[in-house]
Amino acid sequence: MTTAAATADGSTAKAKPASMAQALGRALRDSMSEDPTVHVLGEDVGTLGGVFRITDGLAKEFGDERCTDTPLAEAGILGAAVGMAMYGLRPVVEMQFDAFAYPAFEQLISHVAKMRNRTGGAMPLPITVRVPYGGGIGGVEHHSDSSEAYYMATPGLHVVTPATVGDAYGLLRASIASDDPVVFLEPKRLYWSKSDWSPEAPAAVEPIGRAVVRRPGRSATLITYGPSLPVCMEAAEAAVAEGWDLEVVDLRSLVPFDDETVAASVRRTGRAVVVHESSGFGGPGGEIAARITERCFHHLEAPVLRVAGFDIPYPPPMLERHHLPGVDRVLDAVARLQWEADS
């Protein structure tokens, strides 16, 4: 993680570098320590500590009734979590991999998202569904999907995705504490990214739903989240040489969407590029571009552009670098922002 992002974490100079995976594990541990109703369940979360080791040590510390290895059945895992939440527990479900969460879609869409609404507020479901998502780790097929658009399209769910180590901790704590269900998307290629975040003195827990400006700038705004934040930060640094001073907004939460922070930034800069890994067609970028256009039309110097993954099934790992939006593609988009109209 870049220095700028680390600073945005609110970390201190004394802190030792820690990884996002460690921060997530610490968030689970702290939540479980503070609240005996928090239960972790999923495939491999117990003895193994999760395939990404996020839940490492939890079963040992809290017992296998609080951190439970379940049968391998995603609908069953999430469905059981619904019943547990109905009885007053706060389940945190691990879905292991993005594409493996699909069997649980019906439970998520028909029950998790709707139970509060169906029962007239009588039965909220405080469930956190942790989904490691996205590519860039050389995973074979069904291990690299970016599924955020599916979740965003479902009223009743919060959709959260951290991009920094500090946010991984703070946002997961906030998600578990939320009385509403949260789909917590963990950018798996950032699991091992480190920053000077201190597990001893974790950053403050912020309410979910607030975007943050990671890098202030005046020429254009890059709007992004999760795995694409480091790409955008790098692009912004590289753009300085071209004479562009780019602002980078990290959404952190896709639902609720922080229109205010995004619109304020675009009104300042007059230009915007939305960057994400998931497919462009029907993807989050279209929604975000529309919202910007509705709010900032008279401030815009150029159409809002999108830099996204291609509209293809996630490619085999040896080809994924051609699919994933990288620094060059971001800079190309910035170059297309009708700068000539400005001069």
The backbone region for 42, taken as left when phi is positive above 0, alpha when psi lies in -120 to 50, beta otherwise, is: left
Residues 6+ apart with CB under 8 A from 202: 23, 26, 27, 30, 166, 169, 170, 173
CB of residue 262 to other proteins, shortest distance in Å: 11
CB of residue 112 to other proteins, shortest distance in Å: 10
Question: CB 261: neighbour CB atoms within 10 A?
Answer: 18
- Structure tokens of 224? 């992004």
Which x/- pattern over 4-43 shows residues binding other proteins (rule: CB under 8 A)? -----------------------------------x----
Q: Hey, what's the torsion of the CAs at 123, 89, 23, 165, to 10 degrees?
A: 0
Q: Which is nearer to other proteins, 79 or 326 (CB)?
A: 79
Question: CB 108: neighbour CB atoms within 10 A?
Answer: 28
Among the listed residues 34, 35, 61, 260, the single contact to other proteins using CB under 8 A: 260
Report the SS3 class of residue 266: helix
**119 interacts with other proteins by CB under 8 A:** yes
Give dist(CA 44, CA 187) in Å, integer. Answer: 19
Active site residue 143: yes
Among the listed residues 13, 121, 312, 322, the single contact to other proteins using CB under 8 A: 121
Are 170 and 205 a contacting pair, CB within 8 Å? yes
Which x/- pattern over 147-166 shows residues binding other proteins (rule: CB under 8 A)? --------xx-x--------
Q: Which residues, numbered 60-79, are part of the site for other proteins (CB under 8 A)?
A: 65, 70-71, 73, 75-76, 78-79
**252 interacts with other proteins by CB under 8 A:** no
> Residue 325 class from Cβ within 10 Å (0-12 exposed, 13-18 middle, 19+ buried)?
buried
- Size of site (CB under 8 A) for other proteins: 49
Are 81 and 95 a contacting pair, CB within 8 Å? no
CB of residue 38 to other proteins, shortest distance in Å: 12
Give dist(CA 295, CA 136) in Å, integer. Answer: 34
Catalytic residue among 39, 111, 142, 143: 143
Q: Choose the binding region for other proteins from 12-20, 47-55, 175-183, 312-320 (rule: CB under 8 A).
A: 175-183
Among the listed residues 116, 173, 189, 252, the single contact to other proteins using CB under 8 A: 116
- Structure tokens of 169? 């901790």
Among the listed residues 15, 58, 67, 82, the single contact to other proteins using CB under 8 A: 82
Whole-angstrom CA distances from 13 to 163, 198, 199, 300 are 20, 10, 13, 39
Among the listed residues 13, 87, 318, 341, the single contact to other proteins using CB under 8 A: 87
Are 40 and 66 a contacting pair, CB within 8 Å? yes
Give dist(CA 225, CA 261) in Å, integer. Answer: 14
CB of residue 153 to other proteins, shortest distance in Å: 13
CB of residue 48 to other proteins, shortest distance in Å: 17
Q: Choose the binding region for other proteins from 1-9, 117-125, 211-219, 272-280 (rule: CB under 8 A).
A: 117-125
Q: Which is nearer to other proteins, 121 or 243 (CB)?
A: 121
**297 interacts with other proteins by CB under 8 A:** no
Per-residue DSSP letters for 101-140? GGGGHHIIIIIITTHHHHTTTS-----EEEEEE---S---
Among the listed residues 28, 257, 271, 323, the single contact to other proteins using CB under 8 A: 257
Among the listed residues 20, 89, 149, 324, the single contact to other proteins using CB under 8 A: 89
Residues that bind other proteins (CB under 8 A): 39, 65, 70-71, 73, 75-76, 78-89, 91, 103, 106-107, 110-111, 114-124, 155-156, 158, 178-180, 209, 255-260
* Catalytic positions, written as ranges: 143
